[in-house]
Amino acid sequence: MFDTLSDRLGTVFDRLRGRGALSEQDVRDAMREVRVALLEADVALPVARRFIDSVTEKAVGQDVLRSVTPGQMVVKIVHDELVEMLGGGDGAVAEGLNLAAKPPVVIMMVGLQGSGKTTTTAKLAKWIREKHGKKALMASLDVARPAAQEQLAVLGTQVEVATLPIVQGQQPVDIARRALESARLQAIDVLLLDTAGRLHVDQALMDEMKAVAGVSAPTEVLLVVDSLTGQDAVNVAQSFSGEVPLTGVVLTRMDGDARGGAALSMRHVTGKPIKFAGTGEKLDAIEAFHPGRVADRILG
């Protein structure tokens, strides 16, 4: 994750740190290199531009250049700005999920087909059971993809979380109603609804998401996107957030994403926090997304 960016920034900042004194021009030259590194990591152009402007302004406008360790201070400014870019600063809820509402708390999972939505639903159910000690129920509303409901049932057995029994032919909104009813009867704390994906964002999908949200009143609506698709992931998030009230994003396949552009652009472009990162195929390969820790990782 972020391998190339981390290497590139490391080279720039080692050089800055190695010098006793820095001129404004030194900072501007370094920031030009940082900008190229960000763009190569597939960060959206306006996001990269804003980042560089903000760092440059802070680095040359204050007493940074006259300090004893100017290089050190510039790196600190970059770190803080990275945290901001990754969604720190405002509302980075600890552990990502808001589970305090009246049970059953509904978590609606949305996203395109193949993004890792069903796997992530099972990962989160396991997380909720193990880390929060809550009783969870999962229901697949995916009647579009053959065997999607069975797939969730198999995963449910693996993570030891119950799944709603399958009723062939039932439509998503009715499944959602039945799931809620079942959750109430069984005193379930958290109900996870795995909605149907599509190959592309289309109106039928959005209408279905809205109808399901309408009957289930979700506390969390989490969009699952594949980080490997880079700027496409950010575009998908933007399309969804215009239609359904997303509360956050889960970025999957971060284990294979050496660039990190989606993670770095998501907050700025969509206004939605990244709440979790998927880091592998195994059902415990999920991490809460902490902007500070990710910035530490990037800056090595």
Q: Which residues define the annotated binding site for GTP?
A: 111-118, 194-198, 252-255
Q: Could you give the CA distance from residue 210 to residue 216 in angstroms, rounded to a whole number?
A: 10
Beta sheet of 274-278, edge-to-edge order: 162-163, 136-140, 190-194, 105-111, 220-226, 248-252, 274-278, 286-288
Query: Does residue 114 interact with ligand GDP by CB under 6 A?
Result: yes
Length of the chain: 300
Residues in contact with ligand GDP, total (CB under 6 A)? 18
Is residue 118 involved in binding ligand GDP (CB under 6 A)? Answer: yes
* Of 71 and 197, CB closest to ligand GDP: 197
Nearer to ligand GDP, 92 or 254 (CB): 254
**What's the CA gap between 156 and 33, in Å, rounded?**
47
C-alpha distance from residue 157 to each of 122, 126, 132, 152, 285 (Å): 10, 11, 19, 9, 17
Whether 162 contacts 156, CB under 8 Å: yes
- Report the 10 Å Cβ neighbour count for 194: 29
Identity of the residue, 39 or 144, whose beta carbon is nearer to ligand GDP in the bound complex: 144
Interface region with ligand GDP, contact rule CB under 6 A, candidates 53-61, 73-81, 100-108, 279-287:
279-287
From candidates 35, 117, 268, 275, binder to ligand GDP by CB under 6 A: 117
291 cis-preceded (ω within 30 degrees of 0): no
How far apart CA 255 and CA 22 sit, in angstroms, is 37
Query: Which 163-202 residues touch ligand GDP, going by CB under 6 A?
Result: 197
Structure tokens at 199: 């190959």
* Residue numbering of the annotated binding site: 111-118, 194-198, 252-255
- In angstroms, give the least distance from the CB of 152 to ligand GDP: 9
CA atoms of 95 and 239, how far apart (whole Å) = 26
Of the candidate residues 113, 170, 231, 238, the single one contacting ligand GDP (CB under 6 A): 113
Chain position whose Cβ is nearest to ligand GDP: 278
Shortest separation between residue 135's beta carbon and ligand GDP, angstroms? 23
The dihedral region occupied by 112, where left means phi > 0, alpha psi between -120 and 50, and beta the remainder, is: beta
- DSSP-based three-state secondary structure for 105: strand
Nearer to ligand GDP, 34 or 266 (CB): 266
Looking at beta carbons only, is 95 or 287 nearer to ligand GDP? 287
Binding mask 217-256 for ligand GDP (x = CB under 6 A): -----------------------------------xx-xx
- Taking the complex as a whole, how short is the minimal distance between the CB of residue 160 and ligand GDP, in angstroms? 18
Q: List contacts with ligand GDP (CB under 6 A).
A: 111, 113-119, 197, 252-253, 255-256, 278-281, 285
